[in-house]
Chains A and B, each alone.
Chain A
Amino acid sequence: MLEQPKTEAPVPFLRLLGLQKRFGSTAVIRDLSIEVKQGEFFALLGPSGCGKTTTLRMLAGFIAPDGGTISLDGLSIERLPSHRRDAAMVFQNYALFPHMTVFDNIAFGLKMQKRPKAEIIERVHEAMRLVRLPSYDERFPKELSGGQQQRVALARALVLRPKLLLLDEPLSNLDANLRKALRDEVIEIHRVTGTTTIFVTHDLEEALVMADRVAVMNKGQVEQCGTPQDIFLRPATPFVADFIGHENILEGEVGQGWLKKGTLRIQVPLAAQVKSAGLARFAVLASNIELSERPLSQYDNCFLGTITRIRFYGGLTRVTVKLGDCELVAQLGSSGLTRQLTEGAQAYAAWASSDMVKINTDAAQ
């Protein structure tokens, strides 16, 4: 029988394959592979030191990888100098040219391309409108607020209509309200321009809100790559579960549809079959746990426990319940019920087994 010829998989717009980088004796990036589709808004998420900024700098051409390849739009770019990559970067501290006016800052890239003057003027003003920057052509960066400087930095990159837009924690130097406003604007700008964007952040919420897909990084490797929903609702590794903020991780002996944790026998989804009886971990979101003074029969997991801590956060309240020898956190809306709860009181904690997610124990999925 003849082997079927393999159908060529479409080459991804941006592909990082087996990237490696060492600084001295520390391996900062270890065998990193990511594929990004054209027009995607892709977030690299992780704690500081996970290698996300190094990855971005390798994409920009500031750091040469020790091994591996980067291809952009069918071209191998890992050996190209930064100025020939067509990957425009927005820096965390904006890195505007202090000796140039706003206009000259934005026009810089076009001037390097030796575009005609009329085209430069038109495109600079178009970019300024796109990022909603007032006509501050003649001002210098130091005369602008942080948010306006950020807009100049964005316009300076976007005016080149790059194949790839690289954002290095672009919102982290702004105060909370402005950050949220600019977040929406960046999403809108991405929607309008359709520029493939790689976005580095350590802020979970930012990544979930803004990105089409997220790669969670840890120690120079991708732990999990998927849509924000995938990452948040179905964390694949303990690291991701922990980073996403899943406090409720239950580890215990597992059998056919159940998990034994101390004295508790917890119903788990049947689909999450384990190869052999042994230890397994499951996570359940704090917002999926309900508390009540009476048993809740609609959930297949319902246990009586003691409330050990109540924390009021305004819009929501987080309650820690001790069930046997494990503690679970339930996140409740600030409704009438939470006011009746007191620390030390008994309450039922209930959740559906279908809301439980199995977490792989070994890092390699």
Chain B
Amino acid sequence: MQRNSQTTPTNLGWLFSLPAMLFFSAFFLLPLGALCLRSFFETTSAGVWVFSLATYKEIFTDPYHLGLLWRTLKLSAMTTCVSILLAFPVALHLRQMSSRTRALVTLAVLSPLLTSVIVRTLAWMVLLGPQGTINRTLISIGWQPYQLMYNDFGVVVGLTHVFLGYMILSLMATLDRIDDNILLAASNLGANRWAVLWHVMIPLSLPGMLTGAVLVFTMSASTYATPVLLGGSKAKVLATEIYDLAINYLEFGLAAGMAVVLLLVVALVVLCVTRFVEGGRRRVIFE
């Protein structure tokens, strides 16, 4: 806004962003505020609303709820790590491709986002299910079937499939900006291929890795459909629990409290990781 008012002679920038801001306030900020408030109140038997921290006491003392929070963070972190490991080689490879091939590969990478979440997840169920393609193949060659879904593995596979594209795009954006001469200089100064990767390529791609990680982590932590279908009741996460509490048990206070906890914890994790990585970039690498 401030920048806008400096560059445009008429201070009308705010007017044009008004529709979006109104929409955002009415349908996001207000409900979020209401949700927040709701989690701090409970009704007495007489039907009176009173301020109470009972919701949060329940969340933070109940091992079941803490376990769900832990699992949510763990699955999101695993998805983020797997995405980085899978996306980095792809982005590195895309860097050297012609723009035509790049466009095609980019499209392929983003194609999961163009499919409905239900179709995509059902497809994974067909592959990973107890009677699924993979297990039937294993049985037919005389192996034991494996538990591939209704556990953490299934959820991480499903989440990585969806969010990998974001990681690849973020990494590509930073890798593209690395000057080829910098890599040649490193190799010319005596760095072999791995040293170039470790000392130059990876440090210089950290900003993109961070952007991608924040996107993948937050989306993984809040996604609902994939953990429900691939995790089932055995690999529940906060998002599915919130849904159950609100829709099946009408426990609105507890659902609201858990939503607030999820929001704050994810925000805290993102903040800490960002701080840590940016601090590391300033640090002198030579100890």
**Contact residues in B for A109 (Cβ distance below 8 Å):** 189-190
A101 within 8 Å of B (CB atoms):
yes
Instruction: Tell me whether B284 and A103 are in contact (CB under 8 A).
Output: yes
Instruction: Tell me whether B188 and A100 are in contact (CB under 8 A).
Output: no
Chain B contact residues, CB within 8 Å of chain A:
179, 181-182, 184-192, 195, 199-200, 203-204, 281, 284-286
The listed residue (A62, A88, A120, A138) touching B189 by CB distance below 8 A is: A88
In this complex, what residue of A is CB-closest to B178? A98
Smallest distance from the beta carbon of B208 to chain A beta carbons, Å? Answer: 13
Chain A contact residues, CB within 8 Å of chain B:
60-62, 81-85, 87-89, 91, 93, 95-101, 103-104, 107-109, 111-113, 120, 138, 156-157, 160
With A and B bound together, what is the CA distance between A22 and B56 in angstroms?
A: 71
In this complex, what residue of B is CB-closest to A61? B188
**Contact residues in B for A111 (Cβ distance below 8 Å):** 286
Instruction: Tell me whether B184 and A62 are in contact (CB under 8 A).
Output: yes
Q: In the complex where A98-B204, A103-B286, A104-B286 touch, is A91 in contact with B190 (Cβ < 8 A)?
A: no
9 A-B pairs whose Cβ atoms sit less than 8 Å apart in the complex: A82-B187, A84-B190, A88-B189, A95-B184, A97-B182, A103-B284, A109-B189, A112-B189, A156-B189
Instruction: Tell me whether B189 and A108 are in contact (CB under 8 A).
Output: yes
> Most chain-B CB neighbours within 10 Å: which of A89, A96, A99?
A99
Number of A-B contacts (CB under 8 A): 76
Instruction: Tell me whether B284 and A101 are in contact (CB under 8 A).
Output: yes
Instruction: Tell me whether A112 and B191 are in contact (CB under 8 A).
Output: yes
Instruction: Tell me whether B184 and A83 are in contact (CB under 8 A).
Output: no
Instruction: Knowing that A91-B181, A98-B204 touch, tell me 11 more A-B residue pairs with CB under 8 angstroms.
Output: A62-B188, A83-B191, A88-B188, A91-B184, A95-B184, A95-B185, A96-B182, A96-B185, A97-B182, A108-B189, A157-B189
With A and B bound together, what is the CA distance between A17 and B285 in angstroms?
A: 42
Instruction: Tell me whether B190 and A112 are in contact (CB under 8 A).
Output: yes
Q: In the complex where A99-B281, A100-B285, A103-B286 touch, is A108 in contact with B181 (Cβ < 8 A)?
A: no
In this complex, what residue of A is CB-closest to B282? A140
Instruction: Tell me whether B184 and A60 are in contact (CB under 8 A).
Output: yes
In this complex, what residue of B is CB-closest to A157? B189
With A and B bound together, what is the CA distance between A242 and B231 in angstroms?
A: 77
**Contact residues in A for B195 (Cβ distance below 8 Å):** 112
Q: In the complex where A93-B181, A95-B181, A99-B204 touch, is A104 in contact with B285 (Cβ < 8 A)?
A: yes
In this complex, what residue of A is CB-closest to B207? A99
The 10 closest A-B pairs by CB, nearest first: A112-B190, A95-B181, A109-B189, A95-B185, A82-B187, A99-B203, A83-B190, A95-B182, A82-B188, A91-B181
**Contact residues in A for B184 (Cβ distance below 8 Å):** 60, 62, 82, 89, 91, 95
In this complex, what residue of A is CB-closest to B283? A101
Smallest distance from the beta carbon of A143 to chain B beta carbons, Å? Answer: 12
With A and B bound together, what is the CA distance between A104 and B283 in angstroms?
A: 11
In this complex, what residue of A is CB-closest to B192? A83
**Contact residues in B for A108 (Cβ distance below 8 Å):** 186, 189, 191, 199
> Most chain-B CB neighbours within 10 Å: which of A60, A100, A112, A120?
A112
Smallest distance from the beta carbon of B181 to chain A beta carbons, Å? Answer: 4
With A and B bound together, what is the CA distance between A160 and B191 in angstroms?
A: 13
With A and B bound together, what is the CA distance between A99 and B286 in angstroms?
A: 12
With A and B bound together, what is the CA distance between A82 and B196 in angstroms?
A: 12
**Contact residues in B for A160 (Cβ distance below 8 Å):** 189-190
> Most chain-B CB neighbours within 10 Å: which of A85, A100, A160?
A100
**Contact residues in B for A138 (Cβ distance below 8 Å):** 284
Smallest distance from the beta carbon of A78 to chain B beta carbons, Å? Answer: 15
Smallest distance from the beta carbon of B36 to chain A beta carbons, Å? Answer: 40
**Contact residues in A for B191 (Cβ distance below 8 Å):** 83, 108, 112
With A and B bound together, what is the CA distance between A61 and B190 in angstroms?
A: 12
The listed residue (B188, B190, B204, B284) touching A104 by CB distance below 8 A is: B284
**Contact residues in B for A97 (Cβ distance below 8 Å):** 182, 185-186, 200
**Contact residues in B for A100 (Cβ distance below 8 Å):** 285
Instruction: Tell me whether B188 and A83 are in contact (CB under 8 A).
Output: yes
Smallest distance from the beta carbon of A232 to chain B beta carbons, Å? Answer: 32
Smallest distance from the beta carbon of A122 to chain B beta carbons, Å? Answer: 14
Instruction: Tell me whether B188 and A89 are in contact (CB under 8 A).
Output: yes
With A and B bound together, what is the CA distance between A274 and B188 in angstroms?
A: 49
With A and B bound together, what is the CA distance between A83 and B143 in angstroms?
A: 48
**Contact residues in A for B285 (Cβ distance below 8 Å):** 99-100, 104
**Contact residues in B for A157 (Cβ distance below 8 Å):** 189
In this complex, what residue of A is CB-closest to B184? A62
In this complex, what residue of A is CB-closest to B179? A95
**Contact residues in B for A62 (Cβ distance below 8 Å):** 184, 188
**Contact residues in B for A91 (Cβ distance below 8 Å):** 181, 184-185
**Contact residues in A for B189 (Cβ distance below 8 Å):** 83, 88, 108-109, 112, 156-157, 160
With A and B bound together, what is the CA distance between A45 and B284 in angstroms?
A: 40
With A and B bound together, what is the CA distance between A101 and B286 in angstroms?
A: 9
